[in-house]
Amino acid sequence: MEDDLMTAGDVAALLKVPKSWVFRASSEGRIPKIVISRRCVRFKRSDVEAMLKLKYKPARHDESVHP
The pLDDT score that the predictor gives to residue 1 is 45
pLDDT in 10s for each residue of the chain, 67 residues: 457 999 999 999 999 999 999 999 999 998 999 999 999 999 999 999 998 888 777 777 655 555 5
Residue 64 falls within a domain, yes or no?
A: no
DSSP 22: H
66 found inside a domain: no
Cα gap 26→50, rounded to integer Å: 14
20: containing domain? 5-55
For residue 60, is it within any domain? no
